[in-house]
Structure 1
């Protein structure tokens, strides 16, 4: 019963829209009744406190109700978006899922037992505390996905404080920390969550227009797709007040172009991790990559250029990776930063840094330079092993037009980089592709 605070909100807002799904409104009264029905269905399927339960779906009203009902029953929930059978199998096995609750495309619920018994030490600790938990997997865009186990009680505690809320699109996925945070923030403040079945620029901005959306939480990759598609010119975005972006470094050129085409919209860089939750943030300005992060319940520090966080809401640990905490409890994020007073600028993941003969190359810096070319739609930069210098820089480029002359584009990229970057940062190889260079979570796919 760790979400009783929502009952008060739902009672006050019972006639208001809680969720808009497929252009149909569902009120807080409907959602409250749906949570009760989902609780009864889970009880009938022997889903009890401490059960490790995958909830497979997206932000449909029934999926949201089922997620909240499972948390209310003190389950350990593992949200999962429909992102492929291979990933589902990996997730189910690694997380020791005991029951799978599937919410179908027509919003019906089915419960299936897997026959597993979840015995991981982190689960045992949550059961000892009598607390609900959540399991979230990283995207795996640069390696094997890591599963983090979190105690939901400290996460939920911050939602007990009422704050201002905007009409918000649930762009970030059901199994993403940002998606979960968006949902809980909106519902705990009596706001409205607008869902989308298709995450394309026109589908998302069309929903903004139809439902007078005020807040779009998204990623730099998706912002770039909006600019490339020019979807912002085809939809009325006058209701939009705030676009937040995170999950990966923002190319400066992309940020400046987006600010130029939507000057009335505030742009805010966010920072959060499944290992610690979402920190409060404040960008220096809408066209700046410098951001202040932290807020109540969080301490931050920079050690040898690496960003570290300490918080009572930090995860218990990973299911399938070593502990990333220092002896005194600081979480080592793996993010490299520059520091300017109370502001930081994220340079990229240390694991993605390229070491060329002892010199450090950050992919985002090279990508930003290549994106200055008008003929480039997307670019991903990564390192490739080299016998003499350790690693060399490789760029994979998707041209704006599939008919672009590949040889000419390769030459243009190398020439432009040679004029703008130190020699060791210039890509030694430029690959041309017409395939998308991002994952289902709208993050760059590297290597």
Structure 2
């Protein structure tokens, strides 16, 4: 059975905390939210909750192999429902409120037959849609009698794509027992990294702490209150945490490991983090919606060089771009061609530099700026601008130009009251000995709005 190994481990750790949910840590509770201030769920209780939902699914006559939209954020019921649905061999499409594409459109793409909604108060509703799933990838899972996950890409560069995973292949890596740790669930319920973190914690008898929101203040308060050991997050969040000074207001000494991924880490931010937190190990992760999260090893806590792969994964570099072959790769997209080579390698779109077995992510091939034949990586320019005094956030991209093909443009969010003219003069002087002239932004825009999404990933 799909999660039998998890249920066995729940029995082995029945008196330990599995989940902590619904604590605002003194932060403002959103209007209309009826949320328990604090709820701790033991492994014995989580096991009982899984059993309850298994019986409810049978009572509702939900057939095995059904395509279910589970619309939720992390909570006791959403976690138990996810496990129950997988045990029932269902194909689960994960949806959250933060998605850019409308839920109706995503349900249509996934050919959803049942909708299960878990509210902010953890109440649950179940309804049937009348749709019949016919896509060949869904039938492939049914023929195997395997549960599946449908995980949508962010859609940041276009339409969201629906990646179909065979959960039996995904869960194999969680069979190996590793240390139990108290981990904050920062990445969301519909994110491959969020699901990976949850399963890793539960498979090892750790405790998953679910914050009410993902602001630096709330996350720092949760770390201090619950003595969090592991924080999986993004470079953008870590930069905002530093600039906001919340590390000065909360005791973060319990943190042992901070993992970061989803975007390129600026060297300046990583350097500042290591200086401020010498006892924390900063570890770069690598994963994709289409492949899952791979095991990785950073050269050192303050290095952007890392190794990626491990059992079930192989890597190669073709024309400077990382390609990966994975046993647990998605079966394909429901609504787009899959970017696999004829011999089965996934083309990641990430440009890399290599040093022996070590890799360094330079950026997305799709975001590379060609200025008169010269290559400009947005992350390199952002890294320099981020070190300027008064720069809170910066986002760099290319813009078409009739003479050079493209120019470098920058959106900047400041903490100062400078005019655009004053800042442009300061920027050019600052960059003069740090960047080649063609890399210095030609067009600069000062903005008041945040330059990151609700998932704390840089926006362009």
- The answer for the alignment partner of 2:234 in structure 1 is 219
- Output the CA distance in 2 between the equivalents of 1:417 and 1:187: 47
Distance 2:132 2:293 in 1: 31
Q: Which residue of 2 aligns with 1:106?
A: 121
Match in the other structure for 1:25: 40
Residues 354 and 71 of structure 1: CA distance in aligned 2, closer, same or farther (over 3 Å): same
What is the match of residue 426 of structure 1? 440
| Contact kept in structure 2, 1:20 and 1:192, CA below 8 Å | yes
Corresponding residue for residue 378 of structure 2 = 363
1:39 pairs with one of 27, 46, 54: 54
After the TM superposition, which residues 63-78 of structure 1 pair with which residues of structure 2 at under 5 Å, given as runs?
A: 63-78=78-93
**Structure 1 residue aligned with 2:400, among 375, 381, 385?**
385
Q: How does 1:8-407 map to 2 (within 5 A)?
A: 8-22=8-22, 23-83=38-98, 86-401=101-416, 403-407=417-421
Task: Tell me how far 1:43 sits from its aligned partner.
Answer: 2.5
- Displacement of 1:169 in angstroms is 0.3
- Deviation, 1:416, is 2.3
Distance 1:430 1:9 in 2: 55
* Deviation (angstroms), 1:306: 0.4
Q: Is the partner of 1:420 in helix, strand or coil? A: coil
8 Å CA contact 2:182, 2:206 repeated in 1: yes
Q: Distance in 2 between matches of 1:434 and 1:85?
A: 21
Once the two structures are TM-superposed, the CA of residue 157 in structure 1 deviates from its matched residue by 1.2
Describe the shift of the 1:86–1:275 C-alpha distance in structure 2 as closer, same or farther (beyond 3 A): closer
Say if 2:286 and 2:296, in contact at 8 Å, map to a contact too. Answer: yes
Pairwise CA RMSD: 1.3
Task: Decide whether the 8 Å contact of 2:274 with 2:301 is kept in 1.
Answer: yes
Compute the TM-score of the two structures, normalised by the length of structure 1. Answer: 0.97
Contact 1:381–1:393 at 8 Å: present in 2 too?
A: yes
Contact 2:101-2:160 within 8 A present in 1 as well: no
Deviation at 1:165, TM superposition (A): 2.7
Report what 2:27 is aligned to. none
1:405 Cα deviation from its structure 2 partner:
2.7
- Do the aligned residues in 2 keep the contact of 1:141 with 1:443 (CA within 8 Å)? no
Shift of 1:268: 0.2
Instruction: Pick closer, same or farther for the CA change 1:48–1:411 going to 2, 3 Å.
Output: farther
Match of 2:424? 410
Equivalent-residue separation in structure 2 for 1:408 and 1:100 (angstroms): 54
Runs of 4+ residues deviating >4 angstroms: none
CA offsets 1:252-290 (integer angstroms, 9 cap, x no match): 011111111111111000001111111111111111000
The 8 Å contact of residues 21 and 76 in structure 2, kept in 1 or not, is answered as yes
Distance of 1:37 and 1:322 partners within structure 2: 39
CA distance in 1, matches of 2:349, 2:387: 28
State the 1:85 CA deviation: 7.8
- Residue 3 of structure 1 pairs with residue 18 of structure 2: no
Q: Structure 1 residue 6: deviation in Å? A: 0.9
Question: How big is each residue's C-alpha offset from its partner over 1:281-337, in whole Å with a ceiling of 9 and x where there is no partner?
Answer: 111111100011111111111111100111110111112222211111111110000
SS at structure 1 position matched to 2:425: helix
**C-alpha separation between the residues in 2 aligned to 1:244 and 1:213?**
13
Aligned residues of 1:309 and 1:330 also touching (Cα < 8 A): yes
Aligned residues of 1:174 and 1:180 also touching (Cα < 8 A): yes
How many Å apart are 1:351 and its aligned residue? Answer: 0.8
CA deviation string 1:397-445 (max 9, x = no partner): 01124x3333211222233233321122111100110101111221111
SS across alignment from 1:419:
coil
1:321–1:289 CA distance, 2 compared to 1 (3 A): same
Q: 1:142 to 1:413 in 2, by over 3 A?
A: farther
1: CA distance, partners of 2:328 / 2:256 = 30
Size of the alignment, in residue pairs?
A: 445
SS in 1 for 2:237: helix
